[in-house]
Each structure stands twice: as C-alpha cells, then as structure tokens.
Amino acid sequence: MMTQVLDYFKNLPSYFITSLIIIALISTMSVVVGQKVKKLDPKARPGKMLTLIISFIAFFNGYVKSYIGKHWTYVAPLTLSLVFYVLIANISGVVNVEAPTSFTAITFSLSIVSVFIVQSTGILSNGALKHFGGLTKPFKLMTPLNVIGDITPVLSIALRLFGNIASGAVIVTLAFRALMLLPFYLSWTAIVVKPVLSLLFDVAFGLIQTLVIVLLTIIFASTKVSDADLEIN
C-alpha cells in the first residue's frame, strides 16, 4: 500500500508537488501566526514581523470591506489565501523550481477559485434564486451571453497569468543561453544577468500579476453584491 502511494507521488508533475508544498507552507504559517496572535498580551508590544503581518492583514481587510461591504468577512480570507498562494507560486522560480503558475492546469484552477468566490458572494448577498435569476435579464434569450459574460473575464485572468509567468521564464532561459554562447571573457556575464532578470520577471512581474488576479476577483465579486449590503453601518 505504501509503495503504491509513493509511486503515485513520484508520477505527479513537478508543478503539482510545488503547489502542495506552497499550500502546506501557507497552512503552517497561518497556524503559527494565529497561535502567536492568540497568545499575544494586549499590554505587550508585538515583534516587528508580527506587527507587519497584522498591519498588512488589517489593511487588506479594510480594502475588501470598502468593495464588498457587509460580506467582507467571507471574501477577505478567501482572497487573502489567493494572494499568498499566487505570490509564492509566481516567485518560486527564484529558488530554481518551475513556477506552478507557468502551467495552464494551475492558472485555470485559480480561475475556478475566482469564479467560485465571485458567484458565491453573489449568492450570499442576494440569495441563489435572485442571483442566478439575474442571468435571464433583460430577457431569457440573453442567458447564454450573460453566463459567458460572467465566466470570460475570470478565465482571461488565468490566461494573462499563465502568459506573463511562462513568457518571463522563457525570456530568462533564452537570455542565459545566449550569453553562454559568447566568448569566454564575456560569457561570465550570464552569471550576473540571470539573477537580475530572474528578480525582474519572477519577483516584480510576479507581484504585479498577484495584484491583478486578486484585485480583479474582488472587483468582480463587488458587482454581485446588492446595494443594501454595500452599506456598512
């Protein structure tokens, strides 16, 4: 039995293994930080790292609340998990592993998560009947187009994320190999150029793409919230 399990994991794609490691890392860090916050003395001054984490989460919660309103407590944890996963997955190329988000299987899985967040927010705010009933407006013949209109923007996020991360990895590899073909007295520059390009494409572009997918998910979700729920007393 154990041998079969090990053989199964050996045959899994590398990006899937990386994704599992990222999920385990996020889960572990969430538990550790949560325990530290629970044990925090209200009169004591928290450490710099804990203060930074608490400040970031407070800022993020406030941002989500400004868009989602009453149901921000539902959307914020889901989108924050998305932030950490996409960010770590995007910049994982820095440690010389294939970024999971450079594979369509992962980016389309993320788009499914985004669709779930958007649609479930609408159901939570308006109820299932009213939410899905809106797809038949202004008349029933528009239903297929309304369904496509709901799904297409989120799917475009997946394609954009895949295209940017995959193209960045390709450019870094091509640049490195091109420099290695130069004469010896110039080929050493590949050692310097590759980390710089990796930081640019993996970190800078990875951060930008994280902001894009998360902010668009929040904005799309806000369009499904009723006007009454947007108002917070």
Closest by Cα among 144, 129, 162 to 15: 162
Structural domain boundaries of the chain? 2-230
Closest by Cα among 106, 131, 125, 118 to 17: 106
Distances (CA, A) of 57 to 63, 118, 143, 208, 224: 10, 21, 38, 19, 24
What's the pLDDT band for 4 if we cut at 50, 70, 90?
low
- pLDDT at position 9 over 70: no
- Find the range with the poorest average confidence among 16-20, 36-40, 195-199: 195-199
Q: What is the pLDDT of residues 177-208, one digit of tens each?
A: 777 777 766 666 767 777 777 777 777 777 88
Please tell me the distance from the alpha carbon of residue 222 to that of residue 217, in angstroms, as a whole number: 9
Q: What is the pLDDT of residues 57-99, one digit of tens each?
A: 999 999 999 999 989 999 999 999 999 998 898 888 777 777 8
In terms of C-beta density within 10 A (0-12 exposed, 13-18 middle, 19 or more buried), how is residue 74 classed?
middle
The DSSP code for 42 is T
What is the per-residue pLDDT for 28?
Answer: 94
pLDDT average, residue stretch 200-219: 82
Residues in the chain: 233
What is the per-residue pLDDT for 78?
Answer: 93
Distances (CA, A) of 32 to 56, 58, 89: 16, 18, 21
Is this prediction's pTM over 0.85? Answer: no
Amino acid identity, residue 212? Answer: V
Q: What is the pLDDT of residues 147-163, one digit of tens each?
A: 888 778 777 877 777 77
Please tell me the distance from the alpha carbon of residue 149 to that of residue 116, in angstroms, as a whole number: 15
User: In percent, how much of the chain has pLDDT > 90?
Assistant: 20
